[in-house]
Amino acid sequence: MLDASSVVTLIESAPLRASAAISLLLLGATAGLLNLCIVRRHSRHLAAETAKALVPGKPRYVEPPENALAPLVVALNDGFAQADASIQSALNQVRELQIQLKVSNGQRKQAEAIIYSINDAVLVTDAFDEVLLANDSAAKVLGAELRSLDRKPLEAITSDRQLVQLIREIRLSRNTSERRVLEHRVRRAGRESVYKVTLSCIGEPGQEPTGVVAVLHDMTRENEIARMKNDFVSSVSHELRTPLASIRAYIEMLIDGEAADDKTRSDFYEIIQNEANRLGRLIDNILNISRIESGLVEIKKEPLSLMVLIKDALGVITPQARGKSITLEEQLDPAYYQVFGDRDMIYQSIMNLMSNAVKYTRDGGTVTVRTSVDEVEKKVTFRVIDTGVGIPAKDLPFVFDKFYRVEANKSVAKGTGLGLSLVKNMIETVHRGRVFVESEVGRGSCFGFTLDLHP
């Protein structure tokens, strides 16, 4: 099979061989005439002049003699001139073809570089549904190695028969101006991915398509985000509706005069105040989570003693624990171990975990606050261990999700389902730490987080 360089070599050499053949024929004819005319005294001179004219790179011209051979020499010179013109024209065409070939190769490499740099899967097939070009993303979609795709039938390298059928259908439509956009689902290794597929034919208008270009944009993550947004709006609406309904109900009872004495009115006011505070906390948590996730929250990091923050939080939580006869135990490392973080966020994370522990521990239980330092890994870990109701194993993977509340524990304490989600965002998103939970139903839970030590 000839490559481009072989073709160019043949083109360049063909005119030269043709010229040499013409020259030899003319020389043969000249020699024959010379023999017929028996003018040997002129033949040597003419042969010498002709040999000089055939030297490569020099003009092919023989000086006409002043004898009967002059017309023949003139015809010979004309033949040489035409041969030179043909050779020059062929060489010019070769140079032009070489330039066009270089430009074409450059454009092809540029197009390939663009296609390979695109995150979307790009697949180009020919008129026989064989793969002409595919990038890395397309190889992943097809479930094949990139190097094994070149010039192979599409149906031989993928088990996705629906995609093969879509490409074949648009090629057989013979409409080079048509562009189809549709949704395509791919299930692999137990996971379903959703793609927006854009298909278009290659070819001149009104002619048979020479191939198909397929672009597959992965919509899986976008669909998940859209679903999460819908779930979030639905959950927020539900959580806001509950305290608002309670506030509205008690206000209506006050307006209707159902609180006849000061004690009843005081109880109603207290319930309204508690529900209003709950509503305020819910809105604050939603705003805080939104600011953290969007990167708009103002963060002021500084070296902090984790033990000092824990001591401050214990002072705030002690009255709540004393009201339920809960014992608070401290197992803290020295104060000189520090972390680098935002004081308010870390303090709020500690308070949320402690408050949950006290809330979900029955009267007379124990809540242990513990820190441990790994000087090799340069990590400090904070734990809150309670003897509370515990969390079922099926709920553990979801306790840090927004608005998630353990169904079995809803009767034990009230909540919005945003506290743990806020802790996860403050520790992992802002401080690049790690939150964790361990629990056993009926025996209690351990919530905590790990942060880097400050040098």
Q: How confident is the model at residue 156 (pLDDT cuts 50, 70, 90)?
A: confident
Residues 418 and 351 in one domain: yes
Closest CA to 360 of 435, 423, 424, 411: 411
Work out how many domains the chain is built from and give that number: 4
Residues 12 and 107 in one domain: yes
Angle at which helices 70-117 and 4-37 pack, to 10 degrees?
180
Residues 414 and 305 in one domain: yes
Strands in 151-294 per DSSP E: 179-188, 191-202, 211-218
Residues 124 and 164 in one domain: yes
Give pLDDT tens digits for 237-252.
766 777 788 888 889 8
DSSP at 393: G
Residues 237 and 181 in one domain: no
Cα distance between residue 437 and residue 447, in whole Å: 5
Average pLDDT over residues 167-178: 84
Residues 359 and 258 in one domain: no
CATH number, residue 249: 1.10.287.130
* pLDDT at 41 > cutoff 90: no
Q: How confident is the model at residue 178 (pLDDT cuts 50, 70, 90)?
A: confident
CATH number, residue 181: 3.30.450.20
What is the three-class DSSP state of 196? strand
Closest CA to 443 of 401, 395, 407, 392: 392
Give pLDDT tens digits for 20-37.
444 444 444 444 444 444
Q: How confident is the model at residue 109 (pLDDT cuts 50, 70, 90)?
A: confident
Least confident of 49-53, 77-81, 409-413: 49-53
Residues 129 and 159 in one domain: yes
CATH number, residue 341: 3.30.565.10
Domain boundary among 218, 245, 273: 218
Domain boundary among 187, 218, 249: 218
Residues 125 and 148 in one domain: yes
Q: What is the pLDDT of residue 20?
A: 46
Tell me which residue range forms the domain holding 35: 4-112
Residues 288 and 306 in one domain: no
Pick the more confident residue, 162 or 242. Answer: 162
Domain boundary among 269, 294, 319: 294
Residues 54 and 135 in one domain: no
What is the three-class DSSP state of 133? strand
Residues 185 and 233 in one domain: no
Least confident of 60-74, 210-224, 235-249, 437-451: 60-74
Residues 311 and 447 in one domain: yes
Kindly report the pTM of this predicted structure: 0.51
Cα distance between residue 19 and residue 21, in whole Å: 5
The residues, any chain, with a CB within 8 Å of residue 311's CB and separated by 6 or more, are 332
